[in-house]
Structure 1
Amino acid sequence: MKVKRIVANIQSPNVAAAKAFYQDVLGLDLLMNHGWLATYGSDQTMQTQLSIASEGGSGTPVPDLSIEVDDLDQALQRCKAAAITPEYGPVTEPWGVRRFYVRDPFDRLINILVHL
């Protein structure tokens, strides 16, 4: 047996609020919408990963999600245009990533990063 996919599920009574962050800011496509569930994604091939952590690195809290992008500066500009202020960073970390933390509409801590 092989794991084919890992899906993050975020509980919210306001499913539509996800669009402003996950589609409009991060550029994910709306793949499925049942009203009670909206799934956002990309046609990019991704590795299946699950991280277990005691901290987020550099003394930060463990983020709820880590989202790797191809252009961190553009992601930061989109966040700022949407009045989303980073809680940490942007910073280049000693383990070879540049990243920043923001909160999504559901108050989840999101680590947006690019590998250097």
Structure 2
Amino acid sequence: MKVKRIVANIHTENIAAAKAFYQDVLGMDLLMDHGWLATYGSNQTMQTQLSIASEGGAGTPVPDLSIEVDDLDEALQRCTAAAITPEYGPVSEPWGVRRFFVRDPFGRLINILVHL
């Protein structure tokens, strides 16, 4: 048996609030919309990963999600334009990533990063 995919599920009563952050700011595609569930993603092939952590690195809290992007400056600019203020960073970390943390509309701590 092999794990084929891992899907993060975030509870909310306001499904539509996800669009402003996950689609408009991060540029994710709406892959499925059943009204009670909206799935955002990409058609790119990605590695299946699950991280278990005691901290988020550099003494930060463990983020709920980590989202790797191809252009961190653009992601930061989109967050700023949407009045989303980083809670940490942007900062280049000694383990080879540049990142910042923001909260999504549901209060989840999101680690947005790019590998250096």
Please indicate the TM-score interval, normalised by the length of the shorter structure.
over 0.9
Q: Give the match for residue 86 of structure 1.
A: 86
CA RMSD in angstroms comes to 0.3
Q: Does 1:4 align with 2:4?
A: yes
2:44 corresponds in structure 1 to 44
Give me the whole-angstrom Cα distance separating, in 2, the residues matched to 1:33 and 1:56: 31
> What is the CA-CA distance between 1:47 and the residue it aligns to?
0.3
TM-score with structure 2 setting the length:
0.99
Mind listing any 5+ residue stretches in structure 1 that lack a counterpart?
none
1:18 corresponds to which residue? 18
Q: Report how far residue 44 of structure 1 moved.
A: 1.0
For 1:14-57, what per-residue CA distance to the aligned partner results, in whole angstroms no more than 9, with x for missing partners? 01100000000000000111111000010111000000000000
Q: Percent same amino acid among aligned pairs?
A: 89
1:77-114: per-residue Cα shift (whole Å, max 9, x none)? 00000000000000000000000000000000000000
* 1:102 partner SS: strand
* Deviation >2 Å, runs of 4+: none
Gaps of 5+ in 2: none
Cα separation, 1, equivalents of 2:46 and 2:92 = 23
Residue 65 of structure 1 and its aligned partner are, at CA, apart by: 0.1
The residue aligned with 1:95 is: 95
Q: Normalising to structure 1: TM-score of the pair?
A: 0.99
Amino acid at match of 1:41: G
